[in-house]
Amino acid sequence: MTTMRVTQNMLSDRSVGSLQLGLSRLAKVQEQISTGRVLNRPSDSPTQTTAAMRMRSSIADQTQFVRNAEDGVGWLGVVDATLGGMTDQVRRARELGLQGASSGTTSQAAREALATEVEQIRDGLVSAGNTTYLGRPIFGGVTSGSSAFDASGAFVGVPGAVNRTIADGVKVRVDVLGTDVVGPDGASLFDDLDALVLALRTGDTPGIRSGLGALEGRLEDLGSARATAGARYSRIEQAAQRGRDAVLDLTTSLSEVENTDLPRAMVDLRMQEVAYQAALAATARVMQPSLLDFLR
Beta bridge partners, 165, equal: 171
CA distance 164 to 76: 11
Half-sphere exposure of 41 (CA within 13 A, CB side): 4
- Lowest mean pLDDT segment, chosen from 21-35, 112-126, 170-184, 218-232: 21-35
Which residues pair with residue 149 across a beta bridge? 155
Most distant CA atoms of the chain, gap in Å: 139
Range name among 1-10, 151-160, 270-279 with the lowest pLDDT average: 1-10
Q: What is the pLDDT of residue 6?
A: 58
Distance CA 276, CA 296 (A): 32
47-68: per-residue pLDDT in tens?
A: 888 898 999 999 999 999 999 9
In percent, the amount of the chain with pLDDT more than 90 equals: 59
Pairing assessment for the beta strands 136-137 and 132-133 based on DSSP bridges? antiparallel
pTM comes to 0.79
Q: In the prediction, which pLDDT does 11 show? A: 64
Looking at residue 209, what is its pLDDT? Answer: 92
The more confident residue out of 295 and 251 is 251
Closest CA to 125 of 100, 97, 153: 153
Task: Please report, as a single letter, which amino acid is at residue 128.
Answer: A
- What is the pLDDT confidence band of residue 129, given thresholds at 50, 70 and 90? very high
The model's confidence at residue 7, banded by pLDDT at 50, 70 and 90, is low
- pLDDT bucket at 90, cuts 50 / 70 / 90: very high
Average pLDDT, the chain: 87
In this predicted structure, what is the pLDDT of residue 277? 78
Give 241's contacts (C-beta < 8 A, 6+ positions apart): none
Q: What is the mean pLDDT of residues 130-137?
A: 94
- Average pLDDT over every residue of 224-243: 95
The residues spanned by each domain of the chain are 54-254, 261-296
Q: Does domain 54-254 have CATH number 1.20.1330.10?
A: yes
The mean-pLDDT minimum among 34-38, 82-86, 134-138 falls in 34-38
Q: Would you say residue 106 has pLDDT above 70?
A: no
The alpha carbon dihedral of 19, 20, 22, 26 has a sign of positive
pLDDT for residue 105: 57
261 band by pLDDT with thresholds 50, 70 and 90 = confident
Task: Report the pLDDT value the prediction gives residue 203, as an integer from 0 to 100.
Answer: 85
127 in Cβ contact with 118 (< 8 Å):
no
pLDDT of residue 5: 62
- Confidence tier at 289 by pLDDT (50, 70, 90): low
Rounded Cα gap, residues 162 and 210, in angstroms? 35
